[in-house]
A and B are shown apart, each in its own frame.
Chain A
Amino acid sequence: MLRREAGLLVFLGVALALASCGGGAETPAPSAEDQESPPPAATGAGTISGVINFSGTAPEAEPILMDAEAICAEQYPDGAFGETVVANSNGTLQNVFVYVKEGLPDQEWPVSSEGVLLDQSGCRYHPHVLGIQAGQTLIIRNSDGILHNIHPMPVVNRPFNLGQPVEMDSEKSFATPEVMIPVECDVHDWMLGYIGVLSHPFFAVSGSDGSFSISGLPAGNYVVEAWHELYGTQTISVSVAEGGTEQIEFTYAGS
């Protein structure tokens, strides 16, 4: 008889164990203060900067028909267009994610306690491409006041799908480096963004003048990669002296 009761207790124990391996409750995004060991000082004063050249012609931007979303449509009196290729007037390319791929010393890089903002405004992601450190807080903002859902499709990180029905901020983070994570909104199919998650802070996104700058680098030999959502990746090797500045240029060609 005791055996029967013991058997039942084992069964319950197994069930409880099964039940509890569903994962813990939501934990807040860790910030730099939460890290256990005092981080090594942000080393180095070297800089890698440069420009993303763009030769040829960009494909014609697809028009986005926002008719059914009046709040957004009215923000584009001249029409809204896709952001797959945004060529600047000075022959450079915007929205290229540039980061140090190889060559960094193997260490823990301190994570800034400041979050990175991803704003949904006018039914677009601002910025279209962003970089963030693993463990850093991503502040997702809905500035439109209508339903957006942030649906990143990571391969390595844990996916999430967050609805924001009104103007609000939500905080999330990614635990593992991953280049690049597409982000989409299921309510507005045309919304597309990209997030690059790295273990270190040495990344940048080319702006409206096509330039980028990565600073605070220790001296070393690095491989820098540029990523574009349509034109793919390119790498350049560069050596940075202590406190030195190196200029590099990537060139993408349109058709």
Chain B
Amino acid sequence: MGGLVPGISTIAAPIDRLFTVVLIVTGVAFFLVEGILITFLVRYRHRTDRRATFIHGNRTVEVTWTLVPGLMLFGLAIFQYGTWRQAKIAFPDESRAQLVGVSANQFEWNATYPGADGQLGTPDDLAAPINVLHFPVGVPVIIELQSTDVIHSFFIPVLRVKQDAVPGRPVSVWFEATQSGQHELACAELCGLGHYRMRGQVTFEAPEDFEAWLVELAARQAGG
């Protein structure tokens, strides 16, 4: 994944590493199995001078190829608990994070930012234009994600972040961006006829630029 889509969050590298680990394990398994298959097809093709070997199995072999993959798979699962915790369970402290409210509905992303009081859900909140989102770089961002109608899914590939937005059930999702840039937010859960175009324009920028943008938002909202 890292080779195809840049990763610009703190969770991207661990996730990409896991992908690589699985790639290596499954790659070896793939070449081994398919290689053996093709070898056997060639080697044991019907010849009139040969009879198949009359054998029903081999206990040692059976136990080996049960235990070894079994332990590997189990290990692979446990090995990933840490990264999953980091991604979905261990949220940063709210006091040092940028809070953003994202409300999804057919077919748009509505981002709200806390106003001067630093709290979401108060009258001084700033509403970004539809489908426009900005996030600061180098600062943990905690998004309170909601939907107003059907299930949508908040997916920013470069962040390796995805979370379903479920109506009536706010869910928090967090990330920390590591690089500035313009990227896209896609909806990743079928939500209607406009699902294919539920596209957010996401800007990651230095904290100063982010603050400046918030000021601009406030001015637009007040001045009209």
Contact = CB atoms under 8 A, between A and B. Distances in A.
Given A68-B129, A68-B131, A63 B194 contact: no
Most buried by B among A149, A187, A190: A187
B69 to A, nearest CB: 47
A67 B132 contact: yes
Bin the interface of chain B by size. 10 to 19
Interface in B82-137: 106-108, 128-132
Most buried by A among B129, B196, B200: B129
Nearest to B127: A65
Contacts, number: 47
A156 to B, nearest CB: 23
A189 B108 contact: yes
Contact of A186 (B107, B129, B199, B220): B107
Contacts of A251: none
Interface in B169-213: 192-194, 196-197, 199-201
Interface residues of A, number: 19
B3 interface: no
B201 A68 contact: yes
A68 B200 contact: yes
A60 interface: yes
B106 A186 contact: yes
Contacts of B197: 146-147, 187
A162 to B, nearest CB: 8
B224 interface: yes
Given A68-B129, A68-B201, A186 B224 contact: no
A67 B192 CA distance: 23
B132 A63 contact: no
B126 to A, nearest CB: 12
A68 to B, nearest CB: 3
Nearest to B194: A187
A163 B194 contact: yes
Contacts of A208: none
A106 interface: no
A66 interface: yes
B129 A67 contact: yes
A190 B199 CA distance: 16
Interface of B: 106-108, 128-132, 192-194, 196-197, 199-201, 220, 224
Interface of A: 60-63, 65-69, 146-147, 149, 161, 163, 186-190
